[in-house]
Amino acid sequence: MNKILVEKNCEKEIYLDSNEDKYIYVLEENASLKVFNFSSDQSFKVEIYLKGENASVEYFFSTINFHDNTYNIKVYHEANNTKSNLVNHGVNVYDKKLNFVVDGIINKDTVGCSCTQDNKIMNLEDGKSKIEPNLLIDSFDSIANHAAYIGNFREEDLFYLKSRGISQSIATKMLTRGFLIHNNPDLEKIGDFLKQIEKL
Amino acid sequence: MLEVKNLSVKVKDSNKIILNNFNLNIGEGEVHVIMGPNGTGKSTLAKSILSHYKFEIVDGEILFNKEKLNNLSTDEVAKRGIFLAMQDPTEIEGVTNSEFLRTALGEVSGNKVNLYQFIKDIEKSYKDVKLSEDMLHRSINKGFSGGEKKKNEILQLKILKPKLIILDEIDSGLDVDSLKVVCENINSYLKENEKTSLLIITHYPRILKYLKPDYVHIMKNGNIKQTGDLSLASFVEKNGYDSINEVDESDANE
């Protein structure tokens, strides 16, 4: 287990490649955290506790899936005016299971919270993918929304790339990379992950 | 160069026939235009040549420099030197124009692309089509206006250097100035590459003010009904497609 505390008034940016099976993040008042989690093929759990007022987290997760895996990500809004934005993108390469279970929990006594999540999985073959976006909102004064999509890369996009002479396999790699590398991460810090995409 | 012989095409997973015993011959360096009303199969022809996933050839053949294209994949057709400038180019989030073009150039040429030469060529091409160079680093067609998307298509053909260009309603949604830029670039490409052929698909003759065709074909109900010169386009503009008498197909395309 990996536990990280972001102290009062501190900003933190973390790059993870998921060697642990559980991560816990605790944010104090006015703390902000940005996590880039690029990993492949290893189930894990994440718990994010927004304990102090005005704490905020942006969690950008991308994964390439080759076997059965479940990713469970929970964010707890325990103070006023806390914000969370979770963006989880997965590419399921074969016919295996890829599950995203993503919970946003806003406590009853809090106000002014914002909890958003965007979950997408692309199946390259007949993957058995599942997304469970759970918004457990017990507060009247909060904003919460989610998007969930499971499907394939658009045939029109593949056709466009191929119509310029790009082969199916390279076109798929380009779309995979475009889909997984989102929100402008530092590419030098995710070299291993980029190599994994190239191997597809 | 391109021979389309007795081609019949249907929508995949349906019995709907779009092209019905269609014939067309395009020689080296020739400029052809296919005009016709909506839903007559013009775009289906363009997409079928490029092995589009929505259509299935049920009869006939498409030959390019004597090679049969029917069973080739889209990228294999493109590698032969056929370029389709699309009517409504798709937007692809996360794949930059730069990455896309460099990869495509490498695939089409079969060579590793020299980055310095690529940047030099592309900077000039961006200026030629009057597009801002910062578009190179943006996702493909993302946030582009209709005119910018069409110019981006022309930019791509300048880089990829095809032998046959198919323009599928390149003029739709273009203002007069953008249409001029697009046509000037096509004309200069044809001048530099005299053996390159051009197939223009359009509803309206206004593009023919800038791109002069050798042959004008009028298409209705899945095949060509009449072939002539530029005067045929003027006739259609004046009298409409309903005025075209259906003739025996063997008279067409010659």
Q: Helix or strand or coil: residue B175?
A: coil
Interface of A with B (CB under 8 A): 154-157, 159-168, 170-171, 174-175, 177-179, 181-182
Half-sphere exposure of A147 (CA within 13 A, CB side): 9
CA distance to partner chain B, nearest, from residue A173 (Å) = 10
Among B94, B139, B160, whose Cβ lies nearest the Cβ of A165? B160
Per-residue pLDDT of chain A (200 residues; tens, 9 = 90+): 889 999 999 999 999 876 789 999 999 999 999 999 998 889 999 999 999 999 999 999 999 999 999 999 999 999 999 999 999 999 999 999 999 999 999 999 899 999 999 999 999 999 999 999 999 999 999 999 999 999 999 999 999 999 999 999 999 999 999 999 998 899 999 999 999 998 88
Q: Helix or strand or coil: residue A11?
A: strand
CA distance to partner chain A, nearest, from residue B113 (Å) = 14
Q: Is B95's CB within 8 Å of A164's CB?
A: no
Residue A33 contacts residue A25 (beta carbons within 8 Å): yes
Where do the domains of chain A lie?
2-152
A and B: number of Cβ contacts within 8 A: 74
CA distance to partner chain B, nearest, from residue A191 (Å) = 17
Nearest residue of A to residue B101, measured between CA atoms = A164
Among A154, A166, A182, whose Cβ lies nearest the Cβ of B104? A166
User: Which chain A residues have a beta carbon less than 8 Å from that of B103?
Assistant: 166, 170, 174
Check pLDDT > 70 for residue B252. no
Q: Is B92 in the A-facing interface, judged by CB distances under 8 Å?
A: yes
pLDDT of residue B253: 43
**ipTM for the complex?**
0.94
Tell how strand B82-85 and strand B164-168 pair up.
parallel
A75: alpha, beta or left, given left = phi > 0 and alpha = psi -120 to 50? beta
pLDDT in tens, A99-112: 999 999 999 989 99
What is the rounded distance in angstroms from the CA atom of residue B246 to the CA atom of residue B7?
18
Q: Is A179's CB within 8 Å of B52's CB?
A: no
Q: Is B84 in the A-facing interface, judged by CB distances under 8 Å?
A: yes
Where do the domains of chain B lie?
2-251
Segments of chain B assigned E as strands: 2-11, 17-26, 31-35, 55-64, 67-68, 82-85, 92-96, 139-140, 164-168, 197-202, 215-220, 223-228
Among A157, A165, A174, whose Cβ lies nearest the Cβ of B99? A174
Nearest alpha-carbon partner for B248 in B2, B7, B21, B5: B21
Q: Is A162's CB within 8 Å of B75's CB?
A: yes
Check pLDDT > 70 for residue B59. yes
What is the rounded distance in angstroms from the CA atom of residue A38 to the CA atom of residue A101?
17
What is the rounded distance in angstroms from the CA atom of residue B9 to the CA atom of residue B19?
5
Helix B115-128 and helix B146-160, axial crossing angle in degrees, nearest 10: 140
What is the rounded distance in angstroms from the CA atom of residue B84 to the CA atom of residue B156?
10
* Mean of per-residue pLDDT scores for chain B: 92
pLDDT of residue B120: 85
> Which range is most confident: A12-21, B109-118, B165-174?
B165-174
Q: Determine phi and psi for A141, rounding to 5 degrees.
A: -100, 70
Check pLDDT > 60 for residue B254. no
User: Which chain A residues have a beta carbon less than 8 Å from that of B84?
Assistant: 163
CATH of domain B2-251: 3.40.50.300
User: Which chain A residues have a beta carbon less than 8 Å from that of B100?
Assistant: 161, 164, 166, 174
Q: Helix or strand or coil: residue B209?
A: helix
- Mean pLDDT lowest among A4-8, B155-159, B162-166, B235-239: B235-239
pLDDT of residue B246: 57
Check pLDDT > 50 for residue B251. no
pLDDT of residue B249: 44
Among B83, B90, B107, whose Cβ lies nearest the Cβ of A166? B107
Nearest alpha-carbon partner for A75 in A16, A4, A27, A42: A27
CA distance to partner chain A, nearest, from residue B248 (Å) = 34
Q: Is B104 in the A-facing interface, judged by CB distances under 8 Å?
A: yes
Residue B199 contacts residue B34 (beta carbons within 8 Å): yes
What is the rounded distance in angstroms from the CA atom of residue B16 to the CA atom of residue A1?
59
Residue B131 contacts residue B152 (beta carbons within 8 Å): yes
Among A156, A164, A168, whose Cβ lies nearest the Cβ of B104? A164
What is the rounded distance in angstroms from the CA atom of residue A102 to the CA atom of residue A105?
10
